Each structure stands twice: as structure tokens, then as C-alpha cells.
Amino acid sequence: MALMRSVFYVPANNPKFIEKATTLPCDIVTLDIEDSVAPAEKAAARKLAAESFSKFADLKAELYVRLNSWATELTNEDLEALIWPGLDGVTATKVRDADDIKRLDWKLHELEARRGIPEGTVKVCCLIETAMGVMNAYPICSASPRIVSAIFGAVDFCADMRVTLTNKGAEQLYGRATVGVAARAAGIVALDAPFADFSNIDAFTANTQESIQLGFEGRMLIHPSQIEIANKLYAPSEKEVEHAKKVVKVFEEEGLAKGLAAVALDGKMVDIPVYASAQGVLARWSEICEKGSPDNAS
Amino acid sequence: MMINKVGRSLPEQIEHYGKVTPYAGAFATQKDGVKTGARLKSFKRGEKKLLSGIREAIEKSGLRDGMTVSFHHHMRNGDKVVNLVMQEIAAMGIKDIRLAASGIFECHAPLVELIENGVITQTVTNTFNPGPVAKAITAGKLAKPAIFMTHGGRPRAIESGDLHIDVAFVSAPTCDEQGNMNGTKGKSACGYLSYSYLDAQYADSVVAVTDTLVPYPNCPIEITSEFVDYVVVVDSIGDPGGIVSKTLKVKTDPVSLQIASNAANLADAAGYIKDGMSFQTGASGASLAAAALVRDMMKERGIKGSFGLGGIHSYFVQMLEEGLFKALFDTQCFDLVAVESAGKNENHMAISASLYANPHNRGAIVNYLDTVLLGATEIDVDFNVNVITGSNGVIMGASGGHSDTAAGSKLTIVVANLTRKAICVVREKVTTVTTPGETIDAFVTEHGIAINPLRKDLLEAVKDSGLPIVDIRELKAKGEEIAGPQVAQEFTDKLIGVVEYRDGTVIDLVYQPKGYEFQQQ
């Protein structure tokens, strides 16, 4: 699974921002043709986005496009304009139910076939940001093998719930946790909502630490200053990596080799779930190192 | 008894129908002769057509027991005129009326009582929606068998004199005092009034029923005053919510989408998505999705088509406005976008039902059609299609343009979910033959595409396409595996309907299903 610690959003109608995004250390760049682009600008944004694909071809970051929702009746035109070689994935917005994803899956399949793109190339991220979407979170997350991630969208969720968005986020807790659980159950990555108060780094950090405890492995970012912090927080710390190495070593040498299901390390029990968790930490660390940005995790 | 070309057993004569000419093949029955005459009338200068109400129009028309009245169905499930007129006829004590309405919908539930008390004794229709009237006919309440025609068969019957209309009531969204009408303006705008053009030309008396009387001359004019005897103003001719949808949208269920992909890709693989192409679809979810896909293919390849035909919806309007079609030939508008387009775009043209699909004229437009997508309640292993009854024998629809376009089009694709609840759509023999298998080229489902073996050229064209081509018997087996064993419905001896092919021959008969009891809801 590709790293998705930092998913940086750029309005697709702004060439300067797109150019800047090619220089940033995020895991994913998402060109937005949805809410950050005015209706009159949609066509130009699609064109500029498609023309920008080549700029990202040699970068380590994956390239996604955030689509307009099916309810807007713009999605078909978005896909017709944007599904070309060079695009790694699309983000479906305001996903209501599994049928929204199945319809998208169908259209992607049809475009891949028509344009000679290998089937299944284009990945899907689901943006779950309405009460209906939260209620259908697991069916949505498991609606297509293309789905690799799900984002909890706090701003639209709060609007739909008619509640005020706060930095502490108590009003988001149910929706946020539900998306985290649904994503994990479906075997995909949970990505947290953008943090709107981007100049408040302390609040962003606290919110991100909370998000990790809810099972999120990355988040939507709306300002470059958030990228390195997210990369660091969503990566295992050196201490966690060192501990994981110890757990794996002791369990394999003292447990598995001797036919034991549990061993002790520093006075604590290490059994199969602890071993598996440590393996996960090391796998994630390995991905980060392969990507060449271990500094972000230090 | 006689056996027709699709293997159905028919009597030589049917009471209240007449001599039976058996279906002999899609193009076997041709005509060369003289059309029936229309009644000649002379109106003097100053003669007033505007009457006080429907009753006065009925009185002046001379309507009496045993006569035929006609209506068009462009107001669809919002229609109020059929009920208004028929209830007035009933109130006047007139009985034994043959109701030649081009379509009957759920909103026509009040007609059931008129059928039960003998005011209406026979129906002649080419569009039918499931509803109380369909159930009442299934239950055998009509005194005489219902006659099912096609959209092209009806004008053929009118022009040949097979269907004589004594009084035509034409719902007119706008009308002036002289009877000049159009369907694209007014509070009850429904789009073009195509199906009533022949009624107006051939009926002995024509009554325009409007809720929007405009100063003379009405602009534009679809049906001109020379054909109109009387004008009646009522409060409302239709409920706008039921006339047309605001806009039809592609459904999102994955099965419909899969079927749409298979259908569009079949048309493409067969070589019919090309410059100069023509295309017709219905308004079902799969059809609209297929239309949307065809549009995308055309745009990407810079294809300029010739025309879209039939019931017009927003997707066709969009294709016209984008230059993907040169013209739309419209027989009815399926949504408000189409109604608006009809009123303003000169390349969105009204056509009569005769020009659309009449097999006995000098060239109906269906004969120039490349591809049509059609539905089915059942299809059999010989590709015969049923759209009139369900597998339980209950009346659910009528041919509409099904048989007409199937016969005319170069590529006729039937689309349907392979199963519906416990029903497998593929049968050994369909319950009711509506459209003969010889005019069906392919059956497209979510489980694969069956090509009619008669179309060897089509099989050859798509053999390397990668499309999921299967034998129709494989689809039948698959459907039965999903839906379970299929039990054939049993029928009584009571004849409830005669199914005419577009050329006026009889392709099948509908009998009352055993054990069926009428329930209004």
C-alpha cells in the first residue's frame, strides 16, 4: 500500500499552486476540481489538470484528482477529461452509498478500456462527508477493489449535520471514528479531514495525534506548512521502530523458534498480536525509507 | 384454427374483432392501394367553434352508443382529459364506446368503473402502463377484447380505415378559438402532439380540449384549425408532475450500468458508432446510461451523427446541442428539457406517428435507423420478445414503437436484467409475442450478450471484440440457476386481448390468466 501520510490539495485552476505542489514532500498531490473551483472555472480546471499530469510523472508523490459529486452532474465530464495515463487515482466526493462508487467503478472501467489504460490502474479514494455517507461507510469502503483509502470530510459533514466545526472536534467524533473503523474493516487506509485552522500548528498537531488514535494513517492537507508535520506524526517514531525491532527479534528467536506462543520483553508479554503489530510498524517504516524520506519520520 | 409465423394458434374470426389475418413475417404483408377518406365538412364564416364545455362538444359531435373516441397520450401519467371526457360520456348515458387512446396510464383508474358498467367495452391502445385499467382488462372486465397496436400500426390502421375514429379529443396545451393547437407552450406543455396528428386528420369530429386559450393565431401551430370542429376550455388538462419528468437521469444501479456498457460497446463493435449514425433509446436506466456512453464515444472521436429518434429526453437534447446529431425526430417528450428544446430548436422536429413508423407508407423514419435499444419483459430462445404481459399473464405494457423500430433498425438490441425477482427473463416460449424474433439482433444482459443466429454478419463483426458473447440458451440456464425453475402460467379460455403486428396481422392473443383476481391497488 502506497504511503498516504500527507495528501495535499491544490485548486486545479491555479497553475502557480500546481507548479509549487511538484516541489513539496507530500505523499499524494490531489488536484481539486470540486469545491475550490467555481462553476464557471470547471472546464478550464479540467483542462489545466490534465495538462499538468506530465509535471508529476517523475515525482515520488502519487497524483489524484478530486471529482465533483454525482449529484452535480459534472462527474461524467470530469472523468472524460481526466482519465488519461499519468493519473494514479480519483477522489470521489460526497459519496452517499455503495452505488455511487459502483457507478464510478463502471465509468473508470469503461474509460480505461476505451483509452488503452490497463484495467484497475485508476485508484479510488472515497470522501465520506455527509450523514448518509457516514451511515453507509463500510459498504462504501468495500464497494470496489479500486478503493485504497477513505477520507472523513469534516467541513461538509458539519454542514450536513447543521453543527459548528471546532478545532477540538467533538461534533465530528462519531463520523470520524466511524470512517476510521469502516476503512480498517475494508482493508483500506483511513485519511483524516483537513484541518481548516492551518496557521494554528499546535492545534493541528494535537488534532493529528488524536486522529492517529482513531486509526487514521494520513490526512488531507490544505497548506504546505502542514506537510512535514503530517509526515512526521503519521510515521512511526525512532523509539517505536527500535521497540518493534526488539519485539520481532525476541518473538522470532524465543517464541516461534521454540514453539512458544508468548514470550516476555522488558517485563511485558509479547504474543502474536503484538508481534503482528510490530511487523506493521517495520513495514511502514520500510516504505518510508524506500520513499527516501526517513527524515520526515525522525 | 391457423398457425402464424411465430407458431401461435389463431381462430379465423374473433367476435368483436373480425377476420383474423395471421402474422406471416415482418415484411410479408405489404399494401398498395388507396387510403381511406376523411370526412369533408364546410364551416361558414363566423361559425363559432368555442363551446361551453365538454358536454356540448359531445352533443354536437353526434357521439352515440357503439362509436369510437380517440385520445393521445402525450400528457402521460398526468393526463386529465381522458377521464373528464369519458366521465361526461357516462353521465350522458352513452354506452358501448370503443376507447382508442394511444396510451393508458395509472392516472386513468376511473375508467375501470366505466368498463365495469359498459360505457367502455373495448380499448385500442399502443402504449400501456401497469395500473388499474391493465389489471381490469387482465381480469376480463372488458366486454370485447382489447386491441394492442404499435405506434406505427395505429396510423396504418387509421389511414387504411381499419381504425375509424368517430370523435377525436385532442388535449391541447395551447389553443386558439379556431382550434390551432400546439403542445410545447402553456402551463400543461407536454411537447409535440405527434400521436394525435392522424386522429385529427381522419376523425369525423375533432374536439380540442385546452386549459390555455390564446388569442388567434396561436403560434406555433402544430394541428391546424382546418381539422378542428370544436374547442373546449377546461381548468386543467394535465398534472404537470405526471406529464413529464423534470429531467431523466442515468440510474446508478450497477446492473443497469453493466448492461448499458455491453449495449453501447456492442453497437460500437458492430460498426454503428460512426459519422452519419442514427440512434434511438427508451428512457429506462440502462437505455439512458447507454445513450450517455454513446455520447461520450462520439465526442471523443469527433463523430457527427445524423439523427436521434422517438421519445426524446435530455441526453438526446444535449447531443443535438453539442452537434453530435444533426436533428431530432420527436414523437413525444420524456422530460422538461426535451419540451423546452422542442419549443426553441428548429432541428428538434415533430413527426407524425405515420412518418415515424407506419409500415405502409413511402418510407417511415424507422427504416433509416441504425441502432435501437429496446426493453423486454420476456424474450425466448427464438428471440421473440414480450413487452405486453408479465410471465404471470398480467398486462404490463404495449408495444409502443418496439416492433416498428425492431423491424426498421439495422441493429436492434434488447436490454434487460436477466432475472427479476424469481423470474428468468429468457423463456422457452414467451408468454405473449409482441415483436418477432426475426427482427431482434441481440439480447444484452448483465451476464452476457446473445446474438441472434440469423445475424451471421453481426456474429462475425463482434467475434474478436472481447464482448461477453454467449448463446441465448446459456443465458436461459444461467437465469434459471439464479431465479429457480420457471413454471409456465396457466390460462383460461377467455380471450382478453388481440395483439396486432404493425402491418395489421395478428401476432398473438392474450388470454385471462387462471386464478387472476382484480385488485384496484
Mean of pLDDT values over A105-128: 95
Q: Coil, helix or strand for B337?
A: helix
Helix (H) or strand (E) holding B55: helix B54-61
Residues B187 and B279 in one domain: no
Domain that holds residue A282: 238-297
Residues of A in contact with B249 (CB under 8 A): 73
Is B240 buried (19+), middle (13-18) or exposed (0-12) by CB count in 10 A?
middle
**B210, B243, B276 - which closes a domain:** B243
DSSP of B196-207, one letter per residue?
Answer: GHHHHHH-SEEE
Report residue B507 as a C-alpha cell: 401476432
- Region of residue B278 (left: phi > 0; alpha: psi -120 to 50; beta: else): beta
Q: Which residues between 146 and 185 in chain A have a beta carbon less than 8 angstroms from any beta carbon of chain B? A: none
**A207, A231, A255 - which closes a domain:** A231
Residues B437 and B298 in one domain: yes
Amino acid at B469: I
Residues B232 and B289 in one domain: no
State the sign of the Cα–Cα–Cα–Cα dihedral B110, B116, B118, B121. Answer: positive
CATH number of the structural domain spanning residue A63 = 3.20.20.60
Residues B186 and B292 in one domain: no
pLDDT (0 to 100) of residue A46: 97
Residues of A in contact with B253 (CB under 8 A): 99, 102
CA-derived radius of gyration, chain B: 22
**Is B31 a domain residue?**
no
Domain that holds residue B343: 254-489
Residues A272 and A142 in one domain: no
How close is the nearest chain A Cα to the Cα of B492, in Å? 43
Residues A23 and A119 in one domain: yes
**Dihedral pair phi/psi, residue B518, rounded to 5°:** -70, 130
List the single residue in B258, B297, B299 with the smallest CB-CB distance to A106. Answer: B258
**B243, B273, B302 - which closes a domain:** B243
Looking at chain A, the whole-number percentage of residues with pLDDT higher than 70 is 97
CA-derived radius of gyration, chain A: 20
Residues A114 and A250 in one domain: no
**Is B33 a domain residue?**
no
| Helix B81-91, helix B54-61: angle, nearest 10 | 70
Q: How many domains does chain B have?
A: 2
Residues B95 and B196 in one domain: yes
Residues of A in contact with B295 (CB under 8 A): none
Report residue B383 as a C-alpha cell: 428471440
List the single residue in B253, B254, B261 with the smallest CB-CB distance to A110. Answer: B261
3-class SS string, chain A: CCCCCEEEEEECCCHHHHHHHCCCCCCEEEEECCCCCCHHHHHHHHHHHHHHHHHHCCCCCEEEEECCCHHHCCHHHHHHHHCCCCCCEEEECCCCCHHHHHHHHHHHHHHHHHHCCCCCCCEEEEEECCHHHHHCHHHHHCCCCCEEEEEECHHHHHHHHCCCCCCCCHHHHHHHHHHHHHHHHHCCEEEECCCCCCCCHHHHHHHHHHHHHCCCCEEEECCHHHHHHHHHHCCCCHHHHHHHHHHHHHHHHHHHHHCCCEEEECCEEEEHHHHHHHHHHHHHHHHHHHHCCHHHHC
**Is A1 a domain residue?**
no
Residues of B in contact with A100 (CB under 8 A): 252
**A192, A209, A231 - which closes a domain:** A231
pLDDT (0 to 100) of residue A196: 84
**Is B141 a domain residue?**
yes
Is A43 buried (19+), middle (13-18) or exposed (0-12) by CB count in 10 A?
middle
Residues of A in contact with B252 (CB under 8 A): 70, 99-100, 102-103
**Is A68 a domain residue?**
yes
β-strand partners of B311: B332
Closest CA to B171 of B216, B208, B223, B221: B208
Complex prediction ipTM: 0.73
> What's the pLDDT tens digit per position in A216-274?
999 999 999 999 999 999 999 889 999 999 999 999 999 999 999 899 999 999 999 99
Report the distance separating Cα A250 and Cα A172, nearest Å.
Answer: 40
Report the distance separating Cα B308 and Cα B323, nearest Å.
Answer: 12
Q: What is the dihedral of CA A235, A237, A242, A243, to 10 degrees?
A: -90
pLDDT (0 to 100) of residue B425: 97
Report the distance separating Cα B239 and Cα B173, nearest Å.
Answer: 12
pLDDT (0 to 100) of residue B284: 78
Per-residue CA distances from B353 to B26, B146, B224, B284, B408 (Å): 19, 21, 17, 21, 14
pLDDT (0 to 100) of residue B246: 64
**Is B234 a domain residue?**
yes
The model's confidence at residue A298, banded by pLDDT at 50, 70 and 90, is very low
Helix (H) or strand (E) holding B496: strand B491-500
Residues A246 and A207 in one domain: no
**Dihedral pair phi/psi, residue B392, rounded to 5°:** -90, 5
Size of interface A-B (CB pairs under 8 A): 28
**Is B454 a domain residue?**
yes
Residues B273 and B199 in one domain: no
CA-angle at B149, arms to B148 and B153, nearest 5°: 170
* Ranges of H-type helices in B248-388: 254-269, 285-301, 314-321, 336-344, 353-357
Mean of pLDDT values over A48-65: 94
Helix (H) or strand (E) holding B482: helix B472-483
Query: Residue-wise pLDDT tens for chain B (521 aa)?
Result: 899 999 999 999 999 999 999 999 999 998 899 999 999 999 999 899 999 999 999 999 999 999 999 999 999 999 999 999 999 999 999 999 999 999 999 999 999 999 999 999 999 999 998 899 999 999 999 999 999 999 999 999 999 999 999 999 999 999 999 999 999 999 999 999 999 999 999 999 999 999 999 999 999 999 999 999 999 999 999 987 787 766 667 767 888 889 999 999 999 999 999 999 999 998 777 888 899 899 999 999 999 999 999 999 988 999 999 999 999 999 999 888 999 999 899 999 999 999 999 999 998 999 999 999 999 999 999 999 999 999 999 999 999 999 999 999 999 999 999 999 899 999 999 999 999 999 999 999 999 999 999 999 999 999 999 999 999 999 999 999 999 988 889 999 999 999 999 999 999 999 999 999 888 66
Residues B208 and B273 in one domain: no
β-strand partners of B101: B71
Report the distance separating Cα B332 and Cα B352, nearest Å.
Answer: 10
Residues A96 and A215 in one domain: yes
**Is A145 a domain residue?**
yes
Closest CA to A155 of A58, A263, A29, A35: A35
Per-residue CA distances from B515 to A24, B444, B492 (Å): 74, 33, 9
**Dihedral pair phi/psi, residue A260, rounded to 5°:** -105, 145
Residues A151 and A283 in one domain: no
List the single residue in B252, B257, B296 with the smallest CB-CB distance to A80. Answer: B296
**Is B303 a domain residue?**
yes
**Is B267 a domain residue?**
yes
List the single residue in A99, A110, A114 with the smallest CB-CB distance to B252. Answer: A99
Residues A46 and A109 in one domain: yes
Report residue B508 as a C-alpha cell: 398473438
Spatial contact of B416 and B442, defined as CB atoms under 8 Å apart: no
Residues B390 and B352 in one domain: yes
3-class SS string, B104-144: ECHHHCCHHHHHHCCCEEEEEECEECCCHHHHHHHCCCCCC
CA-angle at A136, arms to A134 and A138, nearest 5°: 100
Residues B238 and B266 in one domain: no
The model's confidence at residue A289, banded by pLDDT at 50, 70 and 90, is confident
Residues B67 and B101 in one domain: yes
Looking at chain A, the whole-number percentage of residues with pLDDT higher than 90 is 86
A interface test, pick of B246, B251, B252 with most A CB neighbours within 10 Å = B252
pLDDT (0 to 100) of residue B517: 87
pLDDT (0 to 100) of residue B506: 98
**A231, A251, A270 - which closes a domain:** A231
CATH number of the structural domain spanning residue B151 = 3.40.1080.10
> What's the pLDDT tens digit per position in A140-160?
999 999 999 999 999 999 999
Report residue B54 as a C-alpha cell: 365538454
Residues A173 and A199 in one domain: yes
Per the listing, cell 380540449 goes with: B209
Q: Is B300 in Cβ contact with A106 (below 8 Å)? A: no
State the sign of the Cα–Cα–Cα–Cα dihedral B429, B434, B438, B443. Answer: negative
**Is B28 a domain residue?**
no
Q: How many domains does chain A have?
A: 2
Residues A123 and A195 in one domain: yes
Residues A200 and A62 in one domain: yes
Q: What is the dihedral of CA A93, A94, A100, A105, to 10 degrees?
A: 10
How close is the nearest chain B Cα to the Cα of A108, in Å? 12
Report the distance separating Cα B112 and Cα B500, nearest Å.
Answer: 23
Spatial contact of B463 and B474, defined as CB atoms under 8 Å apart: no
Residues B229 and B282 in one domain: no
Residues A141 and A282 in one domain: no
Residues A120 and A259 in one domain: no
Residues B210 and B293 in one domain: no
**Is A167 a domain residue?**
yes
State the sign of the Cα–Cα–Cα–Cα dihedral A92, A94, A95, A101. Answer: negative
List the single residue in B254, B297, B300 with the smallest CB-CB distance to A102. Answer: B254
pLDDT (0 to 100) of residue B288: 85
**B243, B265, B281 - which closes a domain:** B243
Distance, CA of B94 to chain centre: 28
Report the distance separating Cα B178 and Cα B66, nearest Å.
Answer: 29
Closest CA to A6 of A195, A218, A261, A269: A218
What beta strand segments (E) does B2-151 contain?
Answer: 2-3, 9-10, 13-14, 18-19, 68-71, 97-101, 103-104, 120-125, 127-128, 146-148
Q: What is the DSSP letter of B378?
A: E
| Helix A75-82, helix A98-115: angle, nearest 10 | 30
Q: Coil, helix or strand for B262?
A: helix
Residues in chain A: 298
- A19 lies within 8 A of chain B by CB: no
Does A293 have pLDDT greater than 80? no
